[in-house]
Amino acid sequence: MRGGVTRVRWRLDFLTDRLTLAVAALVALVLGMPLLKPLFAALFPTLDRPLYEADSFLALTVDHLALVGLSSLLAVLVGCSAGIFVTRRSGAEFRGILEAVATMGQTFPPVAVLAVAVPVMGFGAKPALIALTLYALLPIVENTVAGLEAVPGSVLESARGLGMSPAEVLFRAELPLAAPVILAGVRTAVIINVGTAAIASTVGAKTLGLPIIVGLNGSNQAYVIQGAVIVAALAVVLDFGFDRLAALSVRWRKA
Amino acid sequence: MIAFEGVTKRFEPWVAVDGVSLTVQAGEFCVLIGPSGSGKSTLMKMVNRLIVPDAGTIRIDGEDIAGLKPEELRRRMGYVIQNVGLFPHWTVERNIATVPALLGWPKARVQDRVAELLDLLKLDPRRFRDAYPHQLSGGQQQRVGVARALAAEPNILLMDEPFSALDPITRGALQAEMAAIHKATRTTIVFVTHDMDEALKLANRIAVLDHGRLIQFGTPLDILTNPANDTVRDLIGREDWGLKLLAVETVGQRVRSDGEAFGQPVPGTAPLRQALAEMVARGTDRLPVVDEQGRPAGVLHLSDLVRP
Amino acid sequence: MAAPRPTILHNRVALLLAAAVAAAALTLPFLSFAPNRLLSGRGIPLAGALAGVVDAPWGWAALLPGAVILAVPFLRPSRAVSAVYSAAGVLFAAGLVWLAGAHAAHLAATSAPAARTSFGAGFWVMEAAALLAAMDGVRRLGLPPAWRIAVGGATAALVAAQLAAGHLDQLSILKEYANQRDVFAAAVLRHGLLVAGALVPTLLIGVPLGVLANRSFHVRRLVFPVLNVIQTIPSIALFGLLMAPLSALAGALPGLGISGVGPVPAVIALTFYSLLPIVRNTVEGLDGVPPAVREAARGMGMTRRQVFLKVEVPLALPVFLSGLRITLVQAVGLAAVAALIGAGGLGAIMFQGLFANALDLVLLGAVPVILLAVAVDAALKLAVSLAVSLTGRRAA
């Protein structure tokens, strides 16, 4: 029932909703970190420079998100396509090897994959991007295949029998039904990549890990905390966001 | 009208359908029956090209379907399967509207058609229109499945053991409704089952298949009175064969104009089995018969039930 | 219907791998030769590496399995072909390493000691393709997944034999190892200690917590959100955030021997991260015990403790061990990151290489980390299948 009182309550719920709070906290930290300079100066009186000022935290956050976002997008495009391909009749023979690679690859520690990218491709954001994309591919491929496999055969049969073309079956039936599982894979990939992107500062990419690395190398704990707090908040925001998306993707199941 | 001409299908190394030729008349309710592995499902699925024959031709109204685009062919037919296969993420309404949406019907027409079908399949729109499949019972889901198949007003309806997974009561209700729908719409129905009772109840003609070959094709009465071989006899069931025979013929076919009888009359359209049951219940050997308008039509004698 | 078209192509996966091998052999550098550690090297194609190998017959023999891999796509599939394919994959993988070692030795004979011969992109692609070919062959034979581990093991054994024989000593990664031998050994030991050191508190805290969460809905509702948030926090951030409080604590209580840097914050953070998989899988394992079995056991007169030890634990074991596997593999990786806060371990070698632009050092750190993670994963998978066969339960 929709009424004035209900609508107001909905607005207030929005304010206390944990995703909103997390986003607010993140924005506050990113934009307001310079305001906390006196606090850090007080906590760490021995430091000359209690605030990381070589780059703006906003720029670092944007760069970090760009690296994570781009690698995830590429991984979704390539990974979902690969997952779709191996669940079609024409691609079925590649499925075994693809699943084996995806499972095995996930035992490789992401930091090691990132490091190995350097001897092969050099330093900078590009090798980091490739390493992150490759690593994100694994759970996405695995989950795309699992999600598509879980679509009941009767749904596929009736869809084809009613006259849907293979493309229509894929986009109107299979993918919407596989979406929750695929989304879970994307979530895993993104959360891992947020952490790995921070470490990517050691291979020449500019991300939120930079204050942390600079702080660790120069024994500046304030820098470390500033970088750590923001990147942790970013990860939490993304996690809550995916939680929300996951709930939306199974709305029909909760009816 | 659906014509199978020498249709063969192999799934190496075994032959699923072996040179089957038969013609389903327009508006006919044709049941394909046979033991497991007899090729009945395979044969039916060749009508909508879900399976492609290795040899032979299938014509619909004279046109060879091999030349048609499969999707277009299927959109002209209804398809109902045992496990229903409703789209779990769509409401009942959207499920039913699947083919009309694919065909690009205007929204108003779709909505009207959905309302019509919900009514036809005895589903209360207020309860079911916006419900999701997981909220429905098995019988309700299959009603939606049938509605979905009929949505685009197809000339041909293909049904693959649609009621086999349901409990006997629901199955009986849906069978009765299917018979009524057939009578009302005169759609050509190809219906696969392994249950002879279901076949005898619903079919205009029954095609008995075994190991991919057509053994017999005839009316229920033909099948019962002249079974072609032991396979057919086994399908009928040897013990109550006689009773099944009584289920197929009606009182009107054996009524005599002479003689007297008393008590509640029995309608001419009732099956003989019902009349026999009445006689046993009342302890009498004759029953008065009335026609559809309720006027006296004669008397049914017990001795006429058994024809030498 | 017409007879099936005669096909020359029988195995598209093998074709893909063969194409990768061919492309890598022809276009990518097999090895890279640099006059010293700091300069980038010039590429040496596969053909070049062959020409330089003195005992030419051996060189060609090392490549023969490669020829098999190129031919398999066109062979009619059969068990024999798949078996040969697997063997060829293993032999080619080992053969490429052998060839690299031989050519490195050849180059070392005519150049300065500071010169470096390292693996090129072509080597890595061909090596990966060879291993994938071996695994695909095993899969087509229908053998259980444990055989894939065997394939890896066989290749590792052949490479280990070459290492032991000193054949690979002129490759840059081994020259680096030679320089860092003690450091490397200490790093491996430290890495293992970090993982083991975190495992003990994780089990001591996590398992009881899991048992409690299985019994009490309230505990479950409290524990999982907290552990989930911890798991989301990037590892480097958690390491960083622990530094300040621990330094403060160390300053206040110097006698305890803790500090903001080094193994202590690493082990603490590792424990936090390891709790979620352990608790979650303990709960799942216990949840998976059918209530009917529990009831039957109680009905037979077993005490609660006996039911737990004799019924619940064995049945929950496969799922629990799966969680342990996830935990340990994760811990191996996290321990590498912990090197950034001074915890030592293989990560220290890796990051030292990154910061000094010494790429072989990077490999000397990173490759063992990967191998360690894979080995731990394989070992625990075997443990899980052992538990499954002993208790007749399916793992998660």
Q: Are B80 and B146 in contact (CB under 8 A)?
A: yes
Beta-carbon separation of B83 and A253 below 8 A: no
pLDDT-based confidence at A10, cuts 50/70/90?
Answer: low
Q: What is the mean pLDDT of residues C124-145?
A: 88
**A86/A43 Cα distance (integer angstroms):** 56
Ranges A32-41, A195-204, B13-22, C362-371: which has the least confidence: A32-41
pLDDT tens, residue by residue, A51-66: 888 888 999 999 999 9
Beta-carbon separation of A176 and B89 below 8 A: yes
Ranges B109-113, C118-122, C328-332: which has the least confidence: C118-122
**C350/B237 Cα distance (integer angstroms):** 79
pLDDT on residue B91: 94
Which residue on chain B is closest to A168 by alpha carbon?
A: B102
Would you call C391 exposed, middle or buried from its count of C-beta atoms within 10 A (0-12, 13-18, 19+)?
A: middle
Ranges A161-175, A192-206, B238-252, C208-222: which has the least confidence: B238-252
Beta-carbon separation of C233 and A209 below 8 A: no
pLDDT tens, residue by residue, B286-299: 889 888 788 888 88
**B49/B64 Cα distance (integer angstroms):** 12
* Window 335-394 of C, Cβ < 8 Å to A: 336-337, 340-341, 347, 350-351, 353-355, 357, 359-360, 362-363, 365-367, 369-370, 373-374, 377
CB-CB neighbors (< 8 A) of A195 in chain C: 234-237
Q: Which range, A23-37, C59-73, C163-177, has the best average confidence (pLDDT)?
A: A23-37
**B177/A12 Cα distance (integer angstroms):** 52
Give SS3 for B21.
strand
Residues facing B3 on adjacent strands: B23, B59
pLDDT on residue C60: 75
Which residue on chain A is closest to B71 by alpha carbon?
A: A163
Q: What is the mean pLDDT of residues B70-97?
A: 94
| B100 to chain A, closest Cα gap in Å | 10
**B187/A211 Cα distance (integer angstroms):** 74
pLDDT-based confidence at A152, cuts 50/70/90?
Answer: very high
Count, residues in chain C: 396
CB-CB neighbors (< 8 A) of A176 in chain B: 89
Q: What is the mean pLDDT of residues A138-160?
A: 95
pLDDT tens, residue by residue, A124-135: 889 999 999 999
Q: What is the mean pLDDT of residues C15-29?
A: 90
pLDDT on residue A9: 52
Residues facing B210 on adjacent strands: B213
Q: Tell me, what DSSP letter sits at residue A173?
A: I
Those residues with Cβ within 8 angstroms of residue C210's Cβ, 6 or more apart along the chain or in another chain: C278, C279, C280, C281, C282, C283, C286
| pLDDT at position A41 over 90 | no
Q: Tell me, what DSSP letter sits at residue C29?
A: -
Encoded tokens for C109: 């004979």
Q: Are C30 and C49 in contact (CB under 8 A)?
A: yes
Would you call A35 exposed, middle or buried from its count of C-beta atoms within 10 A (0-12, 13-18, 19+)?
A: exposed
Beta-carbon separation of A252 and B132 below 8 A: yes
| pLDDT at position C360 over 80 | yes
pLDDT on residue A8: 52
Ranges A45-49, B177-181, C249-253, C347-351: which has the least confidence: C249-253
Ranges B167-171, B269-273, C68-72, C235-239: which has the least confidence: B269-273
> CB atoms < 10 A from the CB of B118, how many?
22
**C155/C149 Cα distance (integer angstroms):** 10
pLDDT tens, residue by residue, C270-289: 999 999 999 999 999 999 88
Give SS3 for B207.
strand
Those residues with Cβ within 8 angstroms of residue B152's Cβ, 6 or more apart along the chain or in another chain: B75, B76, B78, B99, B100, B103, B105
pLDDT-based confidence at A181, cuts 50/70/90?
Answer: very high
> CB atoms < 10 A from the CB of A11, how many?
8
**C103/C96 Cα distance (integer angstroms):** 11
pLDDT on residue C395: 46
Mean pLDDT of chain A: 89
> CB atoms < 10 A from the CB of A160, how many?
22
Model ipTM value: 0.87
Encoded tokens for A203: 């291979």
| C38 to chain A, closest Cα gap in Å | 12
Radius of gyration of chain B (CA): 22
Those residues with Cβ within 8 angstroms of residue C137's Cβ, 6 or more apart along the chain or in another chain: C82, C83, C84, C85, C86, C87, C88, C89
Beta-carbon separation of A109 and C336 below 8 A: yes
Q: In what order do the strands lie in the sheet with B266-267?
A: B266-267, B286-290, B296-301
Encoded tokens for B188: 């050509």
Q: What is the mean pLDDT of residues B110-122?
A: 94
Inform me whether the C-beta atom of residue C232 falls under 8 Å from chain A C-beta atoms. yes
Maximum separation of any 2 CA atoms in chain A, in Å = 75
| pLDDT at position C241 over 70 | yes
Q: Which range, B292-306, C4-18, C315-329, has the best average confidence (pLDDT)?
A: C315-329
pLDDT on residue B273: 85
pLDDT on residue C345: 92
Mean pLDDT of chain C: 87
| pLDDT at position C348 over 80 | yes
| pLDDT at position C175 over 70 | yes
Q: What is the DSSP string of A82-150?
A: HHHHHTSGGGGGGHHHHHHHHHHHTTS-HHHHHHHHHHHH-SSHHHHHHHHHHHHHHHHHHHHHHHHHT
Q: What is the mean pLDDT of residues C242-268?
A: 82
Beta-carbon separation of C236 and A118 below 8 A: no
Those residues with Cβ within 8 angstroms of residue B116's Cβ, 6 or more apart along the chain or in another chain: none
Distances (CA, A) of C266 to B49, C141, C269, C342: 63, 44, 5, 9
pLDDT-based confidence at C1, cuts 50/70/90?
Answer: very low
Beta-carbon separation of A236 and C332 below 8 A: no
pTM of the complete model: 0.86
What is the number of H-type helices and E-type strands within chain B?
Answer: 13, 13
pLDDT on residue C53: 65
Residues facing B296 on adjacent strands: B290
| pLDDT at position B21 over 90 | yes
Domain spanning A18-254, CATH architecture: Orthogonal Bundle (1.10)
Encoded tokens for B297: 């039509």
Which residue on chain A is closest to B78 by alpha carbon?
A: A162
pLDDT on residue C61: 77
Those residues with Cβ within 8 angstroms of residue C107's Cβ, 6 or more apart along the chain or in another chain: C33, C52, C115, C117, C170
| pLDDT at position A2 over 50 | no
pLDDT on residue A255: 64
Q: Report the neighbours of B using a cutoff of 3 or more CB pairs below 8 angstroms.
A: A
Encoded tokens for C217: 């809905």
Ranges B36-50, B275-289, C382-396: which has the least confidence: C382-396
Q: What is the mean pLDDT of residues A92-97?
A: 89
pLDDT on residue C56: 60
pLDDT on residue C106: 83
Q: Are C368 and C295 in contact (CB under 8 A)?
A: no
pLDDT on residue A1: 42
Return the domain boundaries, chain A.
18-254
**B70/C81 Cα distance (integer angstroms):** 39
| A4 to chain C, closest Cα gap in Å | 34
pLDDT on residue A18: 87
Q: Tell me, what DSSP letter sits at residue B285?
A: S
- Asked whether the bond before C245 is cis by omega within 30 degrees of 0, the reply is no
The dihedrals phi and psi of C145, each to the nearest 5 degrees, come to: -55, -25
pLDDT on residue C2: 44
